[in-house]
Amino acid sequence: MLCRLYFACLLVAPGLLLGQAAVTERELKAAYLFQFSQFTEWPATAFGGADAPFVIGLLGRSALAEVLTELVRGERAAGHPIEVRQLASAAEAVHCHIVYIAPEAMSAQQFAADGRPVLLVGESDDFLRQGGAVRFVRSDSRIRLHINHTSAQRRGLTLSSKLLRIAAKVERES
Amino acid sequence: MIRFRRYRDLSIQSKLRLIVSGACGAVLIVTCAAFVVFKWYHQREQAVSVMSVRVQILAANMAAPLAFQTPEDAMEVLNALAVDRDIEVAAVFNRSGELFAAYPERAPALTLAARKVTGLEHRFEGGRLVVWAPILQGEQRLGTFTLRNSLEGARQAVRRVAWVTAGLLVMALGLSYGLAAWLQRAFTRPLLELTQTAREVARRHDFSLRARRLSEDEIGVLADDFNTMLGQIQHREAALVESETRKGAILASALDAIITINHEGRVQEFNPAAEKLFGYTAGEAVGRKLDELIVPATHREAHCRGMARFLATGQSRVLGRRIEMPALRADGAILEVELAITRISNSEPPVFTGFIRDITERRRAERAMHESEERFRTLTVATTQIVWTTNAVGEVSGPLPSWQAFTGQTEEEVRGIGWARAVHPDDVRATTAVWQRAVQERGNYDTEYRVRRHDGVYRHFSARGVPVKNPDGSIREWVGTCTDITERKKAELELREAAERLTALNRLDRIISSNLDLAKVFAAFARELSALVPCDQALFVSVDGDTEQWKVEREWNRAKPKAPGLNCGALTDTGIGWVAEQKRPLVEALISSSWAEASLLREAGFQSRALFPLVLGHRTVAVFCVAGTTSGAFDRVAVDFMQALADQLTVAVQNIRLFAEVRQHAADLERRVEERTVALVTANKELEAFSYSVSHDLRAPLRAVAGFARILVDEHGEELPEDMQRYLKLIQDSAQRMGQLIDDLLAFSRLSRQAMNRVPFDLGRLCRDVLKTLAPEMAGRALDVRVGELPMVEGDPILLRQVMVNLLSNALKYSRPRAPAVIEVGALPEEESGAGPVIYVRDNGVGFDMKHAGKLFGVFQRLHRTDEFEGTGVGLAIVERIIHRHGGRIWTHARPEGGATFFFTLGGSPGASHHDQQNQ
């Protein structure tokens, strides 16, 4: 009975729900990107001013921009309005706080040198080894998180313990 | 047991125990209850704070799973709740209020509603605790966490505490009760001891007992006071006994009778003087009601009323005063007593003591003196009597004021024997003789004489006198009285006259009832009249209303009249006529009378007359005339007497007339009876002669017919044809029957001639004899003959045998068709006095119709055909004649085919036969 009601609800408004099966991978990834802004602390220097936007940059080809823009409208991160930018090159990522690097776009190593407080989110197998902080890992039609805590710390970011707890794998370099 | 008694009635011991343990118990109960309630609230508070912390922690832990949509992470955390069994349900709702995760996993988590809360909230729902907390991440609100705690743990804890508290309570109560029982002993023991002593004192009336002092507290003081009081009472008691003894001695030796009564009027004390005075012993008197004992019946009601009034109002007319009243002795004698009553000081109910002194003698003396004075005063003051005194030799020496006033004599005239001049000349000699004899013999003087009053009228006096003697026996003076007895004398005279009149009327009554001759009766009337009334003539004048004439029938004169008086004449304008018409008496003075006959009477020397009507049946038949030669000769008394005489005369006249009429009637009747008797005797003789000759004359030709018919049969019978023989047989039978008829007729006619011999005899025996002779007729029949009890009767046995033979053979005859035939003979009780018993003969035969009953007893009358039932029709005629000759009557009762009953009586009175009327 309860199950039937549950499915009926899903059929009526699939787009609004965050149910596991019905939600597209794209949407899920967009949501994750947003939530990272909530569970991570940036140093105050990362923002130009009080009114400076919190920027999520997208590198490479992905259809996330549209979904994510929609998702973050009106939301704030650490008191700053959130802005989504489709980035053409790594150079454009200078003012971003979170950068999503699509699998084919480039390696994380290209960001490694500057050491700016940017949370790098990627998908490639050795993304974390190349200096990325969070990697989406597909497993059983679900997306799990692998986190390189050290990489994030090196860039001056503090990841919430809650985030770490739900992560499937957390790497720490000594 | 204690539960069922009222608290007030409990012993002090129980009360104390109850007070102490009750107070402790109440405090303990309230305390424990407060503690348990407090514990419950405390537990709840604790649960709230613990749950709040837990919920907050959990809510924080739910943020990441919610944010990253990892319910398995949430579940992992939630499952840890299993440690706490009181947590029934927990749930995580997302921002939209949808369930995200629930504990237990498949649980009725949905029973918890999503609620948007801004902070931590809790609420108690149905004894459970529900807590909500928002799930926040930074500023972001991710959802709600909610949790429900059954509070079972808290409850259990409270319960445990309650049990422990209850146990403690019971123990504490027991302890307090025990402690109270132990402590109160110190208080109650001396009290109980005191109570016991008081009870003993009351029971044994022993005031020498003392209570023990067991403590130094208030009860100890109480015991001391109690003992002091007992001491006082003991002292008083002794004083009381002494006082009682002293009082007893006083009562015993007092000269006055002293009686104490209680409020009911019952005697309580009765001292020796009272015993002596009233004749009762104290033993008899004590306990009885005083009013029944010594109060005379006449005063009893007043005594009871006074007593009741005092008891009701407290007021008394006798209390504290000396009163005198009669009293009753045991032997019924009445005493005069002086009485003082006091009430014993304020005792309640009141008790009274009376001090009684016999004053009978004193009172008697007083009364005697008083009476003497009274007598003397009356004697001297009396106005109707004349009081006189003379000297020793019987001469008046001083004034006699009352005598002088009556007679009008002066003092001088009275002196000596001058008073005798006022005495009637006819009485002077006798009076002075009696007076002189009394003076000589020094005896009492007593006589009667007439005295001339000052106005000349003589009055009858009774004079009496006695000598007053000196102590030496010589006569000092005479005193006496003269009493006017004129009225008495007159009354005596009137009485004597009335008695004489009554006697005269009585005498006349006897004459009237024994005498029917007007001449003699009138003479007797005139005699009585002349003796008692001053009349000189009496007339009995008959009045004829039809011819308007009067006529003197009888005349009486005291002396021969001077001139011829009344004789006869017309009624018109006469006093006689008026009296006859008015039927009223007339009394008049002839001198002024204008009636027609008055002048005749005046000429004859009469001056007054009285007329009385004699009325018989509304008709004045005569007038009784009385005349006198003096004027006013007839006063009211005389007129009344003459009226009575006239009434009696009326009765006499009526008697005389009635007697004459009766005598005339009797003579007529006698004559007519004689004539009838002669006619009857003649007719009877003729009838008898006729019937006798008829019988004899009829018998001769009949004998010829029968004889020749027999000869014809005997000699030529066989030669004759058969039908001829039959005719001859018929002739013979008819002749024989005719012979029988003639015999019966002769017997019947003989009955009236035959002398009757009336003797007493046994009818039952006669009946049985008759039945024996009828045996041939009864032979061979189914018969039930019942002869009941028959009485002894008086009659002619030979004639009555005939009656029974006829009735019984009739019954046998007419019941022949019946089998069995039932015949009853019996007697009924006397129907009317003098008629004798009713004898009946009943059969169940063919009976007859009652409308023919009239014919039944006629000669030759038959109701049935001869060939049905043989007979001549004379039997019942004979029976009837015999019964009538006995003065009885006979009647029947029958129904066609329903049998017949013949009843008869043999009563004494001749001619009492009414059977004809009866049967019609």
Beta partners for residue A77, in sequence order: A80
Tens digits of residue pLDDT in B801-823: 889 999 998 898 888 888 889 99
**Which residues in chain A have Cβ-Cβ distances shorter than 8 Å to B73?**
165-166
C-alpha B484/C-alpha B463 separation (Å) is: 9
Q: Do A166 and B140 touch (CB under 8 A)?
A: no
User: Which chain B positions have a beta carbon within 8 Å of A20's beta carbon?
Assistant: 69
Work out how many CB contacts closer than 8 A connect A with B: 38
Q: What is the pLDDT of residue B831?
A: 66
CA-based torsion, A20, A22, A28, A34: positive or negative: negative
pTM value is 0.37
Across the interface, whether the CB atoms of A166 and B139 are under 8 A apart is answered no
Say whether pLDDT at B879 is over 60: yes
Which tens digits make up the pLDDT trace of B199-250? 888 888 888 888 887 778 888 888 888 889 888 988 998 898 998 888 888 8
Rg (CA), chain A: 17
Question: Tokens 């039978």 belong to which residue?
Answer: B733
Which residues of chain B have a CB within 8 Å of the CB of A136?
Answer: none
Which parts of B68-92 fold into alpha helices (H)?
Answer: 71-79
Look up tokens 């001491």; give the residue: B231
Average pLDDT over residues B517-521: 82
Which pLDDT value is given to residue A109?
64
Of B64, B110, B140, the CB nearest to A165: B64
Mean pLDDT of the B254-275 span: 85
Sort out which chain A residues have CB atoms less than 8 A from B63's CB and list them: 162
Model-level ipTM above the cut of 0.85 = no
Q: Which of A17, A23, A38 sits opposite B140 (nearest CB)?
A: A38
User: Which are the contacts of B246, defined by CB distance < 8 A and separation ≥ 6?
Assistant: none
Answer yes or no: do A38 and B110 touch at CB < 8 A: no
Q: Long-range pairs for A81-86 at CB < 8 Å and ≥24 separation?
A: A81/A53, A81/A54, A82/A34, A82/A37, A82/A53, A82/A54, A82/A55, A82/A56, A83/A53, A83/A54, A83/A55, A83/A56, A84/A55, A84/A56, A84/A57, A84/A58, A85/A55, A85/A56, A85/A57, A85/A58, A86/A57, A86/A58
User: Cβ atoms within 10 A of the Cβ of B593, count?
Assistant: 17
Q: How far is CA B501 from CA B634, B640, B898, in A?
A: 15, 10, 78
Q: Which parts of B590-644 are beta strand (E)?
A: 608-616, 619-628
A7: pLDDT strictly greater than 60: no
Nearest by CB to B64, from A2, A79, A162: name it: A162
Take residue B21 and report the two structure tokens written for it.
């343990």
Chain B nearest C-alpha distance from A150 (Å): 20
Quick: pLDDT tens for B653-679.
888 888 888 889 999 999 999 999 998
Q: Which of A82, A144, A162, A163 to mutate to probe the B interface, most B CBs <10 Å?
A: A162
Local structure of residue B854 (DSSP, 8 states): G
Q: What angle do CA A61, A62, A65 make, to 5 degrees?
A: 120
Which residues in chain A are closer than 8 Å to B66, comparing Cβ atoms?
A: none
pLDDT confidence of B387, banded at 50, 70, 90?
Answer: confident
Residues 79-98 of A with CB under 8 A from B: 79
> 3-class DSSP state for residue B458?
strand
Over residues A137-166, the mean pLDDT reads 86
Would you say residue B113 has pLDDT above 80? no
> What region, left, alpha or beta, does residue B873 occupy, with left being phi > 0 and alpha being psi -120 to 50 degrees?
left
List residues bridging with B475 in a β-sheet.
Answer: B469
Please indicate whether, in this complex, the C-beta atoms of B140 and A165 are within 8 angstroms of each other: no
